[in-house]
Amino acid sequence: ANSVLVKMNQAGTLTETFQAVAAARSGGYQIVVSARSGETEDDTIADLAVATAAEHIKIGSVARSERLAKYNRLLRIWEDLRD
């Protein structure tokens, strides 16, 4: 399947990010939300992946604390949504 890689820091504003996702979806593309290199422990990307119903999230392995924070946020979101 074809996909579009979405990086929050490259899309401009959050509104522009959602517009890009909508355009990609209307073209039949899957969404891959991706962290940028040199990330911090900010876990907003997990919320963006869930909010856009992204099929994939690219954040790397859990070997580093800034990545672990994102996985932990995904787990908290999953726990909230399953209840």
Predicted pLDDT at 55: 96
Predicted pLDDT at 10: 82
pTM of the entire predicted model: 0.85
Predicted pLDDT at 63: 80
Strand partners, 58: 34
Predicted pLDDT at 4: 94
Percent of the chain beyond pLDDT 70?
98
In the block, which residue shows the tokens 């909010």?
51
Counts of helices then strands in the chain (DSSP H, E): 4, 3
Angstrom distance (rounded) from CA 38 to CA 16: 22
**Those residues with Cβ within 8 angstroms of residue 67's Cβ, 6 or more apart along the chain or in another chain:** 35, 39, 59, 60, 61
Instruction: Tell me what the pLDDT averaged over the chain comes to.
Output: 90
Contact 69, 41 (CB under 8 A): yes
Going from N- to C-terminal start, the domains of the chain cover 3-82
